[in-house]
Amino acid sequence: MYKMIGGDGREYGPVAAEQIRVWMLEGRLNAQTLLQIDGTEGWRPAASFSEFQDLFSTTEEKDTLTDPPLPRDTCEPGPGKLSVLRCLAGGVDLLLKNFGLFCGASLLAWVMQMLLMSIPVIGGLLNMSFYGIIYGGLFMVFLKRLRGLPARVSDSLNGFHLGVAQLVLAGLFTQVLSSFGLLLFVLPGIYLIVAWTFALPLVADRGMEFWSAMEVSRKTVHRCWFRVAMVSVIAFLPVLAVLFYNYLRTVRETVALVSEGGINVERLQQVLEAANSRAMLQQVVLLFALPLGGGMIMQAYEDLFGASAGDKE
């Protein structure tokens, strides 16, 4: 069984090899059309599959095979024309048309994340490890509907099939490195958080290796960083508001505790418990923000990395 990226940038299949041959004879795909064997990672030009090479027998097509274009998982797309208002409108429209699906898929992803975080001692590490898998699968639900493809709530679990190792590494590296930047330098951390916005979708959608996905995302976002940052802020504004409030309250309470003249263990425990309660509120707000925010981020992803992105700027 095979999947195909059509000329419109949409994914078709899985279909049998016989159907691929029919499409080739009908002119719906050529030597450079990207195919993927169902259940595997990465996309390859049709001409690289030995079972189809007999269909590319003309001299012209053989010449083409000597210098094939780069597969989608290794090329660096130029940025499309990213509009903040278009992303907002696209996210709202997508949510209204798929309200139950998006809420259900977001709830499933959220519950998985909360269950991991609730595990004593190692919960935080497990959450970071599975972050890429959880959100890689969730992003694909939004992306499928954006492309007009069918999707189900259970499809948010597909992250466990879309290159698990690469999603785990992408999630870990983006979180660890951006957190390191935030702690030491603040501004570089903020830059990296925005720059790596599309790393997980690139791994899940195009089968890219984690570092290549991070680099393609960073280089593409760099050209329109402020617009991507604005989309992200609008998409998750309630979450950011609670995060900022929690940070200010925790800093103020910690400073007040130190100024009292020595650290009281019981008082410190109260401060930490209050901070944890506000952090839980942040997670609840995230649940309600995901259905719209995820759609906005995927609208931006499609505008920047879609099949015709390079022709839009």
CB contact at 8 A, 295 and 95:
yes
Q: Find the helix or strand (DSSP H, E) in which 13 lies.
A: strand 11-15
The pLDDT, as a whole number, for residue 7 is 59
Strand-pair partners of 240: none
Can you say whether residue 41 is alpha, beta or left, with left for phi > 0 and alpha for psi between -120 and 50 degrees? beta
Residue labelled with tokens 């959100």? 135
Region 2-65: CATH code: 3.30.1490
Neighbouring CB atoms inside 10 A of 25's CB total: 10
pTM flag (> 0.85) = no
CB contact at 8 A, 293 and 235:
yes
CB contact at 8 A, 109 and 138:
yes
Residue ranges of the chain that CATH labels 3.30.1490 = 2-65
Rounded Cα gap, residues 106 and 222, in angstroms: 28
The pLDDT, as a whole number, for residue 140 is 93
Rounded Cα gap, residues 27 and 7, in angstroms: 11
CB contact at 8 A, 165 and 180:
no
Task: Pick out the chain residues at pLDDT < 70.
Answer: 6-10, 26-27, 41-42, 56-80, 261-263, 307-313
Omega before residue 14 within 30° of 0, cis:
yes
Three-class DSSP category at 47: helix
Percentage helix, strand, coil for the chain under 3-state DSSP, each rounded to 5:
70, 5, 25
Rounded Cα gap, residues 240 and 277, in angstroms: 16
Cα dihedral 199, 205, 211, 215 sign: negative
Rounded Cα gap, residues 168 and 160, in angstroms: 10
The pLDDT, as a whole number, for residue 60 is 40
